[in-house]
Chain A
Amino acid sequence: EPEVTQTPSHQVTQMGQEVILRCVPISNHLYFYWYRQILGQKVEFLVSFYNNEISEKSEIFDDQFSVERPDGSNFTLKIRSTKLEDSAMYFCASVSTDTQYFGPGTRLTVL
């Protein structure tokens, strides 16, 4: 069964450093998402992406965040200058019709 994959599974970084989180969505899906989940809290929408551009973003998704689809398979989330409060699980999801399928997540720890 096809699945969404994410790398790395755990990323530790120093405050102020740039990080890139990678996702490979399910191949025939057209809509892609990034979500964040701070430990013990609900899943929060960050951004949706369709046809090589952002279609919706939340107030969390400020200028420090960017997304790209550099090739036909990868979908990346970049945080330019990480802050302590960026520590969270980051999930990628892709959509077939309406149903969202999530990846296993990347745990980002900012020290």
Chain B
Amino acid sequence: GESVGLHLPTLSVQEGDNSIINCAYSNSASDYFIWYKQESGKGPQFIIDIRSNMDKRQGQRVTVLLNKTVKHLSLQIAATQPGDSAVYFCAEKSPYNFNKFYFGSGTKLNVKP
């Protein structure tokens, strides 16, 4: 089956710095990816998504980059704020079953004031 994994379990950054969170996926046929933010005790919150026909997509203070050659995507958060502290994980939509998503285990982002 597909697997979605994250390179680092914990990332600590200084407030105001940029953060980069990485995710690897295993299925080259996957064509849709989502980044979620999960604060303690809450449900995953949609941040940004990207389809495989794009390399980059920007939102408000966030950018997702997709490198299909190495099956890697990243989430960049500009000017990280204390409110960005959370677990971030990527989700991959199964290319074989449009009903199924696979989730990575997450990276905990700690923002130091």
> Per a CB cutoff under 8 Å, which of B43, B46, B101 touches A45?
B101
Contact partners of A35 in chain B: CB under 8 A: 103
Question: B93 and A98: CB pair below 8 A?
Answer: yes
Question: A42 and B103: CB pair below 8 A?
Answer: yes
Question: A104 and B42: CB pair below 8 A?
Answer: yes
Contact partners of A98 in chain B: CB under 8 A: 32, 49, 93
Separation of A105 and B42 alpha carbons in the complex (Å): 7
Majority DSSP secondary structure for residues of A touching B: strand
Interface footprint category on B = 20 to 34
Separation of A42 and B102 alpha carbons in the complex (Å): 9
Q: How far is the CB of A109 from chain B (nearest CB, A)?
A: 14
Contact partners of A102 in chain B: CB under 8 A: 36, 43-46
Q: How far is the CB of A21 from chain B (nearest CB, A)?
A: 13
Separation of A45 and B3 alpha carbons in the complex (Å): 13
Contact partners of B101 in chain A: CB under 8 A: 33, 45, 100
A103 interface residue (CB < 8 Å to B): yes
Q: Which residue of B lies closest to A49 (CB)?
A: B99
Given contacts A98-B32, A98-B93, A100-B34, whether A56 and B106 have CB atoms under 8 Å apart is no
Contact partners of B89 in chain A: CB under 8 A: 42-43
A75 interface residue (CB < 8 Å to B): no
Contact partners of B100 in chain A: CB under 8 A: 45, 48, 56
| Residue contacts A-B, CB under 8 angstroms, 30 given | A4-B43, A6-B43, A31-B99, A35-B103, A41-B105, A42-B89, A42-B103, A42-B106, A43-B44, A43-B89, A43-B103, A45-B100, A45-B103, A50-B99, A56-B99, A91-B44, A98-B49, A98-B93, A100-B46, A100-B91, A100-B101, A101-B46, A102-B36, A102-B43, A102-B44, A102-B45, A102-B46, A104-B42, A105-B42, A105-B43
Chain A residues packing against B (C-beta within 8 Å): 4, 6, 31, 33, 35, 41-45, 48, 50, 55-56, 91, 98-105
